[in-house]
Amino acid sequence: MLPTTIENRNGIMFIDGVSSLDLAKRFDTPLYVVSEKRIRQNYRNVFSNLKQNYQKIRINYSAKANTNISVLKILESEGANLDVVSPGEAFLALKSGFSPERIIFTGTNARDDELKYLIESKVLINADSLSMLERILKIKTPDTISFRINPMIGAGHHEHCITAGKDSKFGIWEDDALAAYKRALDAGVKKFGIHMHIGSGIMNAQPFLLALEKLLEIAGKIRKTLGIKFDFIDIGGGIGVPYRLGEKEIDLAEFSNLILGAFNKGVKDNDLGEPFFCVEPGRYIICDSCVLLTAVNTVKENPNKKFIGVDAGFNVLVRPAMYGSYHHVLVANRMNAPEEQECDVAGPLCESGDLLAKNRKLPKIQEGDVLAVLNAGAYGFSMSSNYNSRQRPAEVLVNEGKCAIVRERETMDNLLLHQKTARWLK
C-alpha cells in the first residue's frame, strides 16, 4: 500500500500534490522529496496510540534517521523531543529550535570534548558506560542523568541493527547498573532516567515486551536499593515499517496495548511511581515520508541480465548495498505501464555492489524515465557520501501542492571544501 501522500494522476506520480516530473525537471536528480504532511501524520499516529494507555508520554524522535533542519522544525512544532547520538546532531537540534531539556544524547564512546560541549549546551546525557560517567563527573555533576542499560535481549532487521545482547558494544550490563546509579547519586545527581535500545526495524511487540520486563526489573532493584525515583523510563526506538508493498504494518494500537499494559504493571509492581514513558521512533516517523527520484540514463543488457542505469548510487542511498535492503521502485512518469521485464537497477559508481534493486520486475524502461525509490526518508540522505567524488543530492520539502528546496545540491566546488595542498606540492 502506497503512502497516502503519493498519488497516480493519469500515470504520473504526484507527491503531496506536486508532480514528481516537475520536481525532477526543476531541481534535477537524484532528488530526495520529503512530505511534510506524512511526517506529521506518522508522529501523531504514534503519539495518539500511546496516549490511549498512559498519560505521561514523550516521543523522542531518533534524529539519526534524518537530521534535515526542516524535518526537525516540523517535529519541534508537533511537540516532539529528540534523541541525538552525536554533538553534531545536538547542534542541529538546537539550531532548529529545540530547547536543551527536549534533547537527550544517547551516544557511545564519546570523547571528553564532546561531553564538554553537551554539558555546556545543557543537553541531557544518557550515559553508555561507567567510563563515560566518570568523565562526565570530572567536567560537571549534572542535575539529571540517565543510563543506557543492555537488557541482554536484542532484535532487528539486520545483524548490524541489533543493539543489545552479549555481543553488543552498547549499554551498561545489569551487573554494573547499580554501581553506576550509586556513583551518580553519591556525586550529587538529583534526577534520573533509565533507558534501553534493542535494535531497529522490529515488526512485532514481543522483543520489546521481553526487554521491557527486564528493564523494569533492573529499575526496581535500583529503586529498592538506592531509593531512586525515576523521572522517565525510555524503551528506545526500533519500530519497523513495511518496505514491500502488501507487507503488514505494525499495529500501533496493539503495540500500545501490549507495551503499556506491561509498563503499567511493571511500574506498579516495582514501586516506580509515575515516570514518563519514552519511545524513540525515527524510521517509523520519517521513512515513508520520502521518495528518492532518480533518472534513467542507460539501458543495456548482456546474455544473462538487463541493467537499468540511473544517476543515484549507494553514495545517495546506501541501504540496499549495506544491508541488502529492499526498496520498492516505481516508474514515476509511467505508473500505469504493466510490468514486463526483470532487471537490475544499477547506480553510476565504480562498484559491482552499486545496485538499488536486483532481479526486479518493472515496466519496459526507456532512457529519460524517472524512477521513484520509495521509503527513502530513514537513513537515506543521512548516510549519503561523496564516494567516487560525487556530489550529494538536493532535498525538497513538499506540502499540499507547495514545494521548497531545503538542502541545495552540492556542486563540484563543494568537493574542494576544507581541502588544502601541502606547501611542498604548490
CB proximity list for 179: less than 8 A, separation 6 or greater:
130
With H, G, I as helix, E, B as strand and everything else as coil, classify residue 34. Answer: strand
Residue-by-residue DSSP string for 279-304? E--SHHHHGGGEEEEEEEEEEEE-SS
Asked whether the beta carbons of 124 and 191 are under 8 A apart, the reply is no
What does each C-alpha distance from 14 to 335, 358, 400 come to in angstroms? 11, 25, 10
The dihedral over CA atoms of 256, 258, 263, 265, expressed in degrees to the nearest 10, equals 130
Locate 228 and state its grid cell.
531512586
What does each C-alpha distance from 125 to 93, 118, 184, 235, 272 come to in angstroms? 14, 8, 12, 16, 21
Instruction: Please confirm, yes or no, whether 350 is among the known catalytic residues.
Output: yes
Annotated active-site residue in 287, 290, 350, 403:
350
Contacts 24+ apart (CB under 8 A), 119-123: 121/90, 121/94, 123/84, 123/90
CB proximity list for 423: less than 8 A, separation 6 or greater:
none
Q: How far is CA 220 from the centre of its chain?
A: 30
Q: Parallel, antiparallel, or unpaired for β 394-399 and 31-35? A: parallel
Asked whether the beta carbons of 391 and 313 are under 8 A apart, the reply is no
CB proximity list for 85: less than 8 A, separation 6 or greater:
63, 64, 105, 106, 107, 108
What does each C-alpha distance from 388 to 354, 379, 412 come to in angstroms? 12, 20, 12
Matching residue, cell 549534572: 142
- Residues assigned a catalytic role: 350
